[in-house]
Amino acid sequence: MAIRCLLALLILQVALARDYYDILKVPKGAADSVIKRSYRKLALQYHPDKVKGSEEEKAAAAKKFADINHAYEVLSSEEKRRIYNRYGEDGLKQHGAQGGGGGGGGAADIFSQFFGGAFGGGFGFGGGEEEEQTPKGHNVRVDLEVSLRDLYVGTTVRVLRDKPVARPAKGTRKCNCRNKVVTRQLGPGMFQQFQQQECQECPNVAYARETEALNVAVEPGMSDRQEVVFFEEGEPLLDGEPGDLNFVLRTRPHVRFERAGNDLRHNLTISLVDALVGFSTEVEHLDGHKVHVAAAGVIVPGHVVRLPGEGMPLFEHPDRHGDLFITVTVAFPKALTEKQKAAVRETFKGLHDEL
């Protein structure tokens, strides 16, 4: 079944805070069951017992685990979700509806409440038993163009998508089919085995198209090709769960800046006079702030000025930044008048006697 996601319209908005829906990788209108399944998947993925790696990676995962649990605590409660949708996080605080306020203990509680029931209390990670074998539709990947500025400051891209949704229809259809091996006796001492499909009858469905708005959270420091996942927003599957919808970030080339990992590169052209006597200027950064670049002495063409901390923010650590490397190009005059030539000769008399 070929299903296309039509990206009908893109509108850029600026919004920084990561919201609970982003954390659980679901759109705002997601059904409770989808939120639950997404939470389950993420909580198992980021559970402190399951994450391996450096102390820093573990700390980052622990924070994510707490965020995931906190988001689920709010979105799984009808009342809290309603308040959050209308008034945001501040609304929750005012209503005193926000539990302990995060913290490791809170997260563990929500986690054990959720999984305590499902696994009869004792649950271990070892086997694959916790992974349900529900078939899933195909994941859909869609390119999403963003600017370097978007990746520097972060933004929310609103995407309108036309998606196929299964609706009840007249009649019945075959479902839950499985292959069964049937043995038949053809005669004395003669058996034949063959495969037979056995199906159940289910109410029929028909696909209807539904337009849905998704807010794709582009966070500061995300990299080119990084994927933003919407859980179960991909290709639907009858008698299964939909695949995921993955937005693949593609950076539009910027006219003045180039990115190399967390660093930025910029070319600055100065005049020959500035190159000789020194200069002081400002470079406008991606978000508009001015970066001061200066040199007191002689600058040779190709000289690189390094400005620590003026590069891209680090993903999930936006208070830390890479560096900005400014390569200086010197604009030579096309020609000098005879008078200028004489003046230059006079000025630099004896300068290169050692050559």
Ligand X SMILES: *[C@@H]1O[C@H](CO)[C@@H](O)[C@H](O)[C@H]1NC(C)=O
Judged by CB, which is closer to ligand X: 2, or 255? 255
Judged by CB, which is closer to ligand X: 112, or 267? 267
Which residue of 80, 266, 285, 321 would you call a contact of ligand X, by CB under 6 A?
266
* Residue 4 C-beta: closest distance to ligand X, Å: 36
Residue 343: phi and psi, rounded to 5, are -65, -40
DSSP assignment letter at 5: P
Judged by CB, which is closer to ligand X: 92, or 148? 148
**150: burial class by Cβ within 10 Å (0-12, 13-18, 19+)?**
buried
d(CA 286, CA 147): 10
Both structure tokens of 76 = 């799984």
CB count in 10 Å sphere of residue 321? 21
* Residue 219 C-beta: closest distance to ligand X, Å: 23
* Residue 265 C-beta: closest distance to ligand X, Å: 5
| Binding status of residue 258 toward ligand X by CB under 6 A | yes
Judged by CB, which is closer to ligand X: 41, or 256? 256
| Binding status of residue 111 toward ligand X by CB under 6 A | no
Judged by CB, which is closer to ligand X: 189, or 253? 253
**207: burial class by Cβ within 10 Å (0-12, 13-18, 19+)?**
middle
d(CA 344, CA 195): 96
* Residue 270 C-beta: closest distance to ligand X, Å: 14
Q: Is 173 helix (H, G, I), strand (E, B) or coil?
A: strand
d(CA 94, CA 181): 63
Buried b / exposed e over 111-123, threshold 16 CB at 10 Å, is: beebbeeeeeeee
- What is the total residue count of the chain? 355
| Binding status of residue 259 toward ligand X by CB under 6 A | no
* Residue 328 C-beta: closest distance to ligand X, Å: 11
| Binding status of residue 267 toward ligand X by CB under 6 A | yes
| Binding status of residue 265 toward ligand X by CB under 6 A | yes
What's the angle, vertex CA 47, arms to CA 46 and CA 51, rounded to 5?
Answer: 70
d(CA 21, CA 75): 8
Strands (E), 65-154: 140-146
Judged by CB, which is closer to ligand X: 141, or 265? 265
| Binding status of residue 149 toward ligand X by CB under 6 A | no
Judged by CB, which is closer to ligand X: 48, or 301? 301
Judged by CB, which is closer to ligand X: 110, or 275? 275
* Residue 258 C-beta: closest distance to ligand X, Å: 4
Size of the site for ligand X (CB under 6 A): 5
The interface region with ligand X, picked from 46-54, 175-183, 221-229, 259-267 by CB under 6 A, is 259-267
d(CA 315, CA 317): 5
Which residue of 61, 257, 299, 328 would you call a contact of ligand X, by CB under 6 A?
257
| Binding status of residue 114 toward ligand X by CB under 6 A | no
Both structure tokens of 101 = 């306020």
The interface region with ligand X, picked from 57-65, 186-194, 207-215, 263-271 by CB under 6 A, is 263-271
Residue 258: phi and psi, rounded to 5, are -120, 145
* Residue 262 C-beta: closest distance to ligand X, Å: 15
Footprint of ligand X (CB under 6 A): 257-258, 265-267
